[in-house]
Each structure stands twice: as C-alpha cells, then as structure tokens.
Amino acid sequence: MSDTSQQYDKAVDACKDIFLKKTKDYGTSWRVLRTISVVDQIFIKALRIRNIQELKTQKVGDDIISEFKGIINYGVIGLIQLKLDNPTVEELSLQQAEEMYNEQVAFAKDVMMSKNHDYGEAWRDMQQESFTDLIIVKLLRIKQIRNNDGKTLISEGIDANYVDIINYALFALIMDAESKG
C-alpha cells in the first residue's frame, strides 16, 4: 500500500496545484457556494465524463482526467464548506485556503488507507466507468440527504459521501497514470 500512498499524494499534488492557481486567479469566490451548488458542479462534471465514456468522443478541450481533477477539488471545497458551515461572500487568504485543503485531503486519505486495508485495494480491479457511476450515486445520496433536512437514519452523512467522491476520482487518476507508465 506504500505505492498507493505515494500515488495518491502525487495525484493530490496535481489537483492542489490547480486549486491554488485558481485561488490566485479568482480568490475564494467558491465560499459563496451552498452544498447543493457544490454537488451540482460535481454532478455536471461526472455526467460529462459519463457521456464521453459512452460516446467515446468529445468536442470540448478538457479531457476526462481534467474533469476528475475538478471533481476532487470541488469535493474538497464541499468538505471545507461543511466545516465552515456558513456559505458566504468571504475572502480567505491563499494560506488559509491551502491549509484547509490540506486538512481535508489528509482526512480523505486517512479514510482511503483504512478502507484499503479492509477491502484489499479492490478498487484496482475496477473500471473507470465504475468510478464515474459511483460518484454519481454518491451525489444522488447527498441530494437525498439534503431532502431529508440533512438527517440520516443509519447512513453516513454528506461529508462521508464527499470523501468517497474524492477517493473514487483519485483512484481514476492513479489508474490513468499507471496506464501511461
């Protein structure tokens, strides 16, 4: 699993680089996003990936891997927004945003490592299409949790679903990097 840990960190670094550059360009304008808006951003990206996978062609420049990176970054934004618990027009410093990003990614990685231990890295036998479908399932679950006023009877909450979304997208990046050697 040490390979997985290193591969995970490398994939996260690529996503974080994009996140930080966009934060320099746009500030933390994403602070205004409510949970449903974050979910919808991820949903749009996941559906685009699914369409490209089905059609085996695309007309817009951003490729599937770029979309998975966007899903990861929006998943992290979703976790940050849940933690801050107050979507508002508020500018965070680059340093604050980076610290929050690192905190949420560390949490997601810890969950991934624990699940990897128990599941024996079963994700390595999955297909990219399955990751896409599972991300969409998690998004639909978040929407249902919202419809239930944020309450669940026996299921995990919104945060756990964001973590799974982040990890599925990171698995897709890892597998893509492995396929390219």
Summarised one tens digit per residue, pLDDT across range 161-176 is 999 999 999 999 999 9
Q: What are phi and psi of 59, to 5 degrees?
A: -115, -15
Q: What is the pLDDT of residue 85?
A: 93
Tokens of 8: 């995970």
Q: What is the pLDDT of residue 65?
A: 98
Mean predicted confidence (pLDDT) in 85-94: 93
Which regions of 75-158 does DSSP assign to beta strands (E)?
A: none
Long-range CB pairs of 18-27, under 8 A, 24+ apart, other chains included: 18/69, 18/73, 19/73, 19/76, 19/97, 19/101, 20/94, 20/97, 20/98, 20/101, 22/73, 23/94, 23/97, 23/98, 24/94, 27/91
Q: What is the pLDDT of residue 1?
A: 58
pLDDT digits (tens, 9 = 90+) for 130-155: 999 999 999 999 999 999 999 999 99
Task: Please give the mean pLDDT across all residues of the chain.
Answer: 96
Asked if pLDDT for residue 2 goes beyond 80, the answer is no
Task: Provide the whole-model pTM.
Answer: 0.97
pLDDT digits (tens, 9 = 90+) for 49-86: 999 999 999 998 899 999 999 999 999 999 999 999 98
Domain spans of the chain? Answer: 2-179
Rounded-to-integer distance, Cα 78 and Cα 145, Å: 14
Mean predicted confidence (pLDDT) in 78-98: 95
Q: What are phi and psi of 146, to 5 degrees?
A: -60, -40
pLDDT digits (tens, 9 = 90+) for 101-118: 999 999 999 999 999 999
